[in-house]
Structure 1
Amino acid sequence: MTYAEEGARGFFRGMIPPLITVNGGFKYNTFADVLRVSSLSGGTSGAFIALLSCPLELVKIQRQLEQVMLKNQMKAGQISETQLAQASSWRAVKQIVQRKGVLGLWSGVTCHSARDALGTGIYFGGYESMKRILSKEGTSSGPIIHFMSGGFCGILSWLIVFPVDAIKPIYKRIL
């Protein structure tokens, strides 16, 4: 009903004032609060960003596969160097759109979104948690704590997300 009358904007009408007051007044009382809020915020932003980055990553994967195939065809004498040079990202976009339509650029968006939501959620949650663990109660965190927290959360997120990232190109090729 809301969508029919107001479109997608109707779902977000009146959302800004509560967000400002909730975020401005929220205090992290416990370690669990920090972890929960940071992970949820990171996961939400990761899922949203995936909608924008999915087409770019699909074209990147397409180009990587295309280069391997074209080089093998060139070695076998099936194509010339000029045909290899004609390959481009823009050409890959056109091929995807011709084969699957414009929405084909979002092939694998579910897996991409899950990977980015998981990775970014772990990253933000890990960063804020580690920063809180390393900081002394009641003091602000310095550059070393930020450095250590950033390193920890980066390693943690990739340890968990790397297997999903390795599978994603295969999943996108199947689609």
Structure 2
Amino acid sequence: MKTSEDKPSAQIHSSSTTFSSAVISSAVSNVIGFPLDSIKVRQQTYQFPTIRSCFQNAIQHEGWRGLYRGLTLPLVSATFSRSISFTLYDSFKHSFENTTPSIRYFLSGLCTGSLISLFACPFEYSKLYSQIHALLRRKDVQQYANTFVKPPQPPLSSFQSANDIVRRYGFCSLWNGYRYHLARDAFGSACYFAIYETFKGFLISNQVTPHFAYAFSGAFCGALSWILVFPIDTAKSIVQKNTLLAVKTPLSSIPWLSFSIYRGISISLMRSALINSCNFTLFEVLRDISFFQNI
């Protein structure tokens, strides 16, 4: 079976072309998918029975802007890390060029995810802090309802969240839950790129139009890779939330074998499929535009 790499054009993209194309495609796709990510985090960390109830709760108490609370830092982080990720991935693919395609894709993704996780963890932790801060604040308001204590201030922005985490818990606390983040990103990235490359190559070799191959393969790899790593992502969210509440989270306390570990999976699958379909389609198209090839 031929893959997309059998085509000469797949070999001519420079690192600058890959990076600049990934910057734009990642920024656009992350803005589109961020509200779904906000709902996902709320479902993972609080007992909302359905996506609809979680969405209605957010709109009722925080308005539409609440669904975009915490966007700034993860937008910068995700855009930059995705751009670096795609560039590193292309570089690792050349390093593993003597291996079989499937192994090359998996190892390249594994190495890429491991490196990116170190940079991305503080941004994602700040995003989670910002997203659930309003829920934590409402809990505190109820606690102080019958006292004269002044309730906490309004929800924090992304930058304020990062500053507040450092002020309260120290700089290194930005990497709370890092082992879960590393496991999720390394394994998830390996599956993500391997699935995308394999399906894209298969579809194109069977005369499917490239744009459809990019969109379908992006949606499929995003959804399937999330199914595989979602329990780790939920564990990460639980651990990071508990650190904000000064609660320890033993490994045995995480419901690995319970359906609750997949709370928020449906919204995650929709978000991941949407984001990655948009991202890969735009990324592949931009890389073939002469303007980016001349950068």
Normalised to the residue count of structure 1, the TM-score between the two structures is: 0.69
Question: Match of 1:54?
Answer: 121
Q: Does 1:70 pair with 2:141?
A: no
SS at match of 2:154: helix
Number of residue equivalences: 150
Q: In structure 2, what is the Cα distance between the partners aligned to 1:60 and 1:147?
A: 27
TM-align CA RMSD:
3.2
* Residue 233 (structure 2) pairs with residue 162 (structure 1): no
Offset of residue 157 of structure 1: 0.5
Residues 1:41 and 2:108 aligned together: yes
Asked if the contact 2:97–2:104 (Cα under 8 Å) also holds between the matched residues in 1, the reply is no
Distance between the aligned counterparts of 1:85 and 1:25, measured in 2?
50
Aligned partner of 2:214: which letter? H
Quote the offset at 1:55 in angstroms. 0.6
Alpha-carbon spacing, 1:131–1:117, altered in 2? closer, same or farther (3 Å): same
CA contact (8 A) 1:71 1:84 kept: no
1:115 corresponds to 2:184: yes
Are the aligned partners of 1:131 and 1:145 in contact in 2 as well (CA < 8 Å)? yes
Contact in 1 for aligned 2:193/2:221 (Cα 8 Å): yes
Which of 130, 150, 165 is the aligned partner of 1:96?
165
Decide whether the 8 Å contact of 1:131 with 1:141 is kept in 2: no
Q: Distance in 2 between matches of 1:163 and 1:55?
A: 20
Find the counterpart in structure 2 of residue 23 from structure 1. 94
Shift of 1:97: 2.2
Any idea what SS the aligned residue of 2:227 has? helix
Q: Deviations over 1:51-97 (max 9, x none)?
A: 1111111122223343212112334526657x432744444333432
Quick one: distance in 2 between partners of 1:92 and 1:147? 35
TM-score (norm 2): 0.44
Distance 2:141 2:96 in 1: 63
Asked if 2 retains the 8 angstrom alpha-carbon contact of 1:119 and 1:158, the reply is yes
The equivalent of 1:130 in structure 2 is: 199
| Stretches (4+) displaced over 4 A | 78-81
Deviation at 1:48, TM superposition (A): 1.4
Greater displacement, 63-72 / 48-57 = 63-72
> Is the aligned partner of 1:153 residue 2:221?
yes
Contact 2:113 2:190 in 1 (8 A): yes
SS at match of 1:35: helix
AA partner of residue 94 (structure 2):
N
**Mind listing any 5+ residue stretches in structure 2 that lack a counterpart?**
1-89, 250-295
